[in-house]
Every structure is written in structure tokens, then in C-alpha cells.
């Protein structure tokens, strides 16, 4: 069982705003979502062999999510169906610029109930990249399942990719969140954070100083900071810099960071050498591709439905326009 990338974490229903009904009430569209699964779905769309490990309810939404995985070409061999809780749901609210906020139905949600003994070990042992986030670390038993899975994949030589994905409403309090997120940082080789998240983690408003603090505290090989329309910042041992994004008309930013990261991990595997062996030019080239993928994802509604193809991403890079 060999994969280019396997992700573990939350898989849920995103209810995305779709205008108003005839009665003037908000209409929501059902979409598959969850940050870790969005990343491997993005990679699958770019031609990579990927898989997902997680838990959904044994209900109509859970069956829909399994079908959605299969349709995206992501292996569902690690997806468990639970009779203990309903599939987790997130209601998305968009402002006039397409920026999103979330309201979760997760007390509990099936994703929280993944146990260590339910994890498909063959998938951990046969992947080049293992990706995870912090939402599966909010409570037990999914916290232990996550940490043990990262450790197993790391032992087997996988590159560990991590996106803290800070969602305040899902944690007991900020201290609890920071402790769990930092546990993930200690295990990661490649970390992607947003501006908001790095400020939260360090208390430092200056992104350059904040990124240096994280790199010095943990043995991270590469730190990426996404900054929406401003592009993305990068920090490696000897480099700090920024790559501009692309000007697009954003309608929904849901999944943009995941599209960015999935595209970047595609470039990691395409280049085929350890992060420490990269040149700065190679890094900036990979980030231009990732920035285009993230920008493209904001031009359509939903997370997985908004992900771009290689052709669409290259068209945006070449012409500055969305197809």
C-alpha cells in the first residue's frame, strides 16, 4: 500500500451559503469539507495518489462523504463509520469580501471519536507525506490517535506536514489550544500557518520575528505563512522571504489555504529531494504554483469543489486570469 500522501483528521459537511430562497431566507449547499481531507483532495486533483484516515457518522452525510472521497480519487480505506455520533457539520458564513467564519455542530461529532486502534497502520507505513492538523487534537480519543499516527509515520520515514488550523470555538480555552498545537509543532517537518495563527501562537505581530521564534523553538525544516491576497512568506534555516499572490475576484476563501498546501506538497514530491537540499529559487517557484492554487480556490464556492487542476493553475500563472 503506497501513497504519495495520507492525511488524518476531521472530515465533515460544510454548509456553504448559496444566496436566498424565494422567501428571503439563507440557502446552504452541502459540500464535503475538513482541512486535512481538502489537502489530499487537492493533491489527488493534481495527479497524486492519496488517502485519508478519519471517522464519520453511520448516517446519510457520512455515506455522502465516503462517496465524495471516492469521486475525488482519494482512498477511503482509512475512513471509519461510527454509530456513536453524527457526522460533524460546519455552517459557513461569508462577508462581503468572501472571508469565511464557521459555526460547528460537534458535541460530539464523529470525527472526535477516532481511536488509535482504528487507524489503518498500512497507510501510515506506506506514504511519502503524512499530513495532519490540530482539530483532531481538541479532545480524546482523537488526540492520541493523531499523535501516535504522526509518530508512526515519522518512524517509517514520511515527511510530516502540519497545519495548526486554529478554530477558537472548538477548544476549551486558548491555553489548551496552544499546548496541543505546540505538541504538533514538535513533530512536524513542514508547517503551514496563517498570519492570524502565527500571531496567536507567538504573541508577536511582526511576521518576520514571529516566524524566527517558531523556527528557533522547534526543528521545523520549512515554515510557510499564508497571507491571503498578499501572498505567502517562507522561512528556512538560512532564508526569509515573500512570494506575491495573484489578483482574483474572491467569492469564498474556504479551503484556499488547503488548496495552497496541497499544491505545495505536490511540488515537494515533484522535485523529489529533501527540503534542506532545495535552492531558494526552487522554493519560490513552488510557492508561485501554490499561491496560484490558493487564489484559484477563492474564485468558486466550497472547499473541495473549488480546487483547481494543473491546467487551471498554470493558466493563472501564465496569464494572470482565471479560466
Q: Structure pTM?
A: 0.94
Peptide bond into 141 cis (omega under 30): yes
For domain 3-319, the CATH architecture is 3-Layer(aba) Sandwich (3.40)
242/172: higher pLDDT: 242
- CA dihedral (91, 96, 99, 103) in degrees, to 10, reads -20
Q: What is the mean pLDDT of residues 279-294?
A: 97
Residue 262 has pLDDT above 90, yes or no: yes
Query: In the predicted model, is pLDDT for residue 67 greater than 90?
Result: yes
Handedness of CA 170, 176, 177, 179 (dihedral sign): negative
Mean pLDDT of 252-276: 94
pLDDT average, residue stretch 41-48: 97
Predicted confidence at residue 206, as pLDDT, reads 95
User: What is the C-alpha separation between 161 and 124, in angstroms, rounded?
Assistant: 13
Question: Is 155 a residue whose pLDDT tops 90?
Answer: yes
Place of cell 459557513: 92
**Residue 169 burial class via C-beta count within 10 angstroms: exposed 0-12, middle 13-18, buried 19 and up:** exposed
Q: What is the CA radius of gyration of the chain?
A: 18
Cα dihedral angle (235, 270, 196, 27), rounded to 10 degrees? 170
Residue 98: the pLDDT is 59
Identify which of 293, 246, 257 has the alpha carbon closest to the alpha carbon of residue 161: 257
Average pLDDT over residues 115-119: 98
Least confident range from 153-167, 187-201, 296-310: namely: 296-310
Give residue-wise pLDDT tens across range 91-110: 988 776 656 677 889 989 99
ω into 305 cis (within 30 of 0)? no
For a pLDDT cut of 70, what percent of the chain falls above it?
98
Q: What's the pLDDT score for residue 223?
A: 98
Q: What is the mean pLDDT of residues 265-288?
A: 96
Q: What is the reported pLDDT for 118?
A: 98
pLDDT at position 157, please? Answer: 97
pLDDT at 165: 87
| Mean pLDDT of all residues in 179-185 | 96
Predicted confidence (pLDDT) at residue 305 exceeds the cutoff of 90: no
Task: Tell me the per-residue pLDDT of 220-246, one tens digit each, with 9 for 90 and over.
Answer: 999 999 998 899 999 998 899 999 999
Burial class of residue 93 (count of CB atoms within 10 Å of its CB; 0-12, 13-18, 19+): middle
Please tell me the predicted confidence (pLDDT) of residue 99. 66
d(CA 80, CA 181): 24
Determine the pLDDT at residue 28: 92
What is the pLDDT, as a whole number, of residue 147?
98
Mean pLDDT of the chain: 93
Query: Residue 306 pLDDT > 90, yes or no?
Result: no
Amino acid at each position: 500500500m503506497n501513497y504519495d500522501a495520507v492525511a488524518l483528521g476531521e472530515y465533515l459537511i460544510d454548509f456553504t451559503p448559496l444566496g436566498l430562497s424565494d422567501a428571503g431566507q439563507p440557502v446552504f449547499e452541502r459540500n464535503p469539507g475538513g482541512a486535512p481531507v481538502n489537502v489530499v483532495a487537492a493533491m489527488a486533483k493534481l495527479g497524486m495518489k492519496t488517502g485519508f484516515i478519519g471517522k464519520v457518522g453511520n448516517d446519510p452525510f457520512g455515506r455522502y462523504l465516503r462517496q465524495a472521497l471516492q469521486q475525488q480519487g482519494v482512498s477511503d480505506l482509512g475512513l471509519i463509520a461510527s454509530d456513536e455520533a453524527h457526522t460533524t457539520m460546519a455552517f459557513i458564513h461569508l462577508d462581503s469580501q468572501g472571508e469565511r467564519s464557521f459555526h460547528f455542530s460537534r458535541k460530539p461529532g464523529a470525527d472526535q471519536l477516532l481511536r488509535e486502534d482504528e487507524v489503518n497502520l498500512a497507510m501510515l507505513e506506506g506514504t511519502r507525506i503524512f499530513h495532519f492538523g490540530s482539530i483532531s487534537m481538541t479532545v480524546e480519543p482523537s488526540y492520541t490517535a493523531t499523535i501516535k499516527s504522526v509518530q508512526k509515520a515519522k518512524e517509517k520515514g514520511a515527511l510530516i506536514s502540519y497545519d495548526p488550523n486554529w478554530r477558537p470555538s472548538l477548544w476549551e480555552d486558548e491555553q489548551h489550544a496552544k499546548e496541543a498545537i505546540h505538541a504538533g509543532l514538535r513533530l512536524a517537518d513542514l508547517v503551514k500557518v496563517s498570519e492570524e495563527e502565527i500571531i496567536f501562537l507567538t504573541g508577536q505581530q511582526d511576521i518576520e520575528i514571529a516566524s524566527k521564534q517558531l523556527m528557533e523553538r522547534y526543528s521545523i525544516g520549512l515554515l510557510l505563512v499564508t497571507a491571503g491576497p498578499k501572498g505567502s512568506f517562507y522561512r528556512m534555516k538560512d532564508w526569509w522571504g515573500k512570494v506575491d499572490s495573484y489578483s482574483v475576484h474572491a467569492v469564498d476563501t474556504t479551503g484556499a489555504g488547503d488548496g495552497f498546501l496541497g499544491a505545495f506538497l505536490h511540488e515537494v514530491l515533484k522535485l523529489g529531494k529533501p527540503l534542506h537540499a532545495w535552492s531558494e529559487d526552487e522554493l519560490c517557484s513552488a510557492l508561485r504554483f501554490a499561491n496560484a492554487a490558493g487564489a484559484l480556490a477563492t474564485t468558486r464556492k466550497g472547499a473541495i469543489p473549488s480546487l483547481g487542476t494543473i491546467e487551471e493553475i498554470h493558466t493563472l500563472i501564465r496569464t494572470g486570469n482565471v479560466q
